[in-house]
Structure 1
C-alpha cells in the first residue's frame, strides 16, 4: 500500500511545528515522524517522544524543555533559536509533546516566525488531553451520559491574578472536565468546583504517565482527589478527569484478555 504523504520534503529556511503525541513514540503521526527524520535542527521538549531522535542522527538536537519548578529555556529564547536556525538555511523542527496548539505555545512560536519572515508548517499531534483518558479507559463523551468535554489548564491557581478561568462556571457547564498541569493546585481547584455546585462524590480519574510503560490510573472523587493525589505522591505529568465518565469501569487490558480467551 502506498501511504500518501501529508508532509512533503522539508524546505531549507523553514520551521515545522510537530506535535509528538502523548509520549509513546508509536503515537506520533507518520507525517511528524517523517519531518523529524528530515530535520537539520530539532528543538525538543521534555515530554516529546525523544526515542525517535535517534532516527535523525545527523540533526543537531537542542533540548528546550521546561522542568516544573526547575531549569527551563525562556520562550523568548526558543523563538529566537527557531528564527536563527531557519535564517541560516536549515530545516528546523520544533518537536513537542501532545499537540503544538493545545497548551504547547505553538501559536506563539508561529507568530514569532511569521514576524521574522520565516515560513512555518504545522503537523498536528495527538493531544494528551484526549489520548490520556482514552488510554485509561475513560471516554470523554458518552451518548447516554455527557455531550461534551472542556479542557483547561490548572497551572495557575484559582484566585491568582493571572487566572482567567471561572471555576464555578466550569462546575455548572455540564461537560466532562479535563484538567492539564493541575497537580500543584488540585486542592484549590476541587474546592472551587465544589463551591460552584459540583457534588463532592463526582467521580475523578487521575492518569499518570499516559501511554508510557508506567502509566497508572487513580480513581477517586472530587472531595477526596487532593488527599488521594498527595498520598500517592502524584507528580507531573498527570491528567485529571472530572465527571461521571471517570467512574466507568473500563479496562482495555482485561477486555483484550477476555477476547483472546473466548477465541
Structure 2
C-alpha cells in the first residue's frame, strides 16, 4: 500500500479551492478537515471525513500533537490522507509540523496551495496588498504567540518603519495591543485599518478604522474571530 499525506488549502469557500485540491479530496482514504472550511467541500469525499478543527482560546479543543498522531496512525495503515485546511496551507497553518510527522512515518507528501484570506479580503474591495509605486511589499504576522508576550513577539520598531502593508491573522483579541506597539514605534495613528470578519460566510462584515482607534473599534463593534486585519496605506486604495 502507498501511504501519502496531501495537504490542501481549501480557501474560504467552495469556489476558491483549486481543481487539484478537489481531485485530492475525491481520491483520499481519509480527510482530516479544519473548522473553518466550507463544509460543502466534503461532498467531494468518498473516504472517511474527520473533524480536527481547533477553536481559539479553547483549552479543550484538539491539540496539534493529537492531529499529528491521527495523521501518523492512518499513514501507518497505508492510507492516503488529505489534510484539508481553511485558506492557504502555507500561512499560519502548521503545515511544517504535519509534513514532519508524515516524513517520520515514511510517507510521501504533497502540498496543494489554496487562497489565503488576506488575498480574498483585498480582492473583495477591488484592491491589492501591494502597489509597486509606493507600497512594495507585505508582511504577515499572527496576533498571538505560542509562548511569551506581544512585546517579544516581533521587532515592533522594524515593523513600524518598513513602510509595507501589515496583515494580521488571529489578531482580534490583541489588536489594541498591536496598534499601540506600532504607534509607539513610529507608525502614525491615522494609518487606515481594514477588518474582514467571517469572510465569505453569511456573517461577513467588512469594517474600516484607523490604527489609533483600532482597539476601541474592536470592542465597540464586538468584532469576533475569525477575522483578517490589513494595516497600511494600501487600505486607502479600496474601492
Task: Tell me if both proteins adopt one fold, taking TM over 0.5 as the criterion.
Answer: yes
Partner-residue secondary structure (3-state), 1:183? coil
Tell me if structure 2 keeps the 8 A contact 1:203–1:243.
yes
Question: Conserved in 2, the CA contact under 8 Å of 1:41 and 1:61?
Answer: yes
Q: Does 1:179 align with 2:187?
A: no
Q: Which residue matches 1:62?
A: 50
Residue aligned with 1:53, SS: helix
Question: Quick one: distance in 1 between partners of 2:65 and 2:151?
Answer: 19
CA–CA distance in 1 between the matches of 2:86 and 2:146?
A: 23
Q: Distance in 2 between matches of 1:229 and 1:136?
A: 20
Residues 1:15 and 2:5 are matched in the alignment:
yes
Per the alignment, residue 154 of structure 1 pairs with 143
Gaps of 5+ in 2: none
The CA RMSD over aligned residues, in Å, is: 2.0
Query: Counterpart of 1:131?
Result: 120
Distance 1:146 1:61, change over 3 A: same
1:54-74: CA deviation from partner (whole Å, max 9, x where unpaired): 222x32111111111224211
* Partner deviation per Cα, 1:185-224 (whole Å, 9 max, x = no partner): 1111000000010000011111112233432211110000
How far apart in 1 are the matches of 2:89 and 2:95?
Answer: 5
Structure 1 stretches of 4+ with a deviation exceeding 6 A read none
Counterpart for residue 21 of structure 2: 32
Confirm or deny that 1:99 pairs with 2:88: yes
The alpha-carbon distance between structure 1 residues 162 and 28, as it changes in their structure 2 partners (threshold 3 A), is: farther
- Which stretch shows the higher mean deviation, 203-212 or 187-196? 203-212
Which residue of 2 is the match for residue 122 of structure 1?
A: 111
TM-score (norm 1): 0.85
Displacement, 1:126? 1.1
Q: Look at both structures and tell me which one has the larger radius of gyration over its CA atoms.
A: 1
- The alignment's TM-score, normalised by the length of structure 2, stands at 0.93
Structure 1 segments unaligned to the other structure (5+ residues): 1-10, 251-263
Counting matched residue pairs gives 238
Distance 1:62 1:111, change over 3 A: same
Rate the CA distance shift 1:219–1:196 in 2: closer, same or farther, 3 A.
same
Residue 207 (str. 1) matches residue 196 (str. 2): yes
Q: Deviations over 1:152-187 (max 9, x none)?
A: 111239971794311221010110111111111111
Mean Cα deviation higher: 178-187 or 241-250: 241-250
Q: Distance in 2 between matches of 1:94 and 1:245?
A: 33
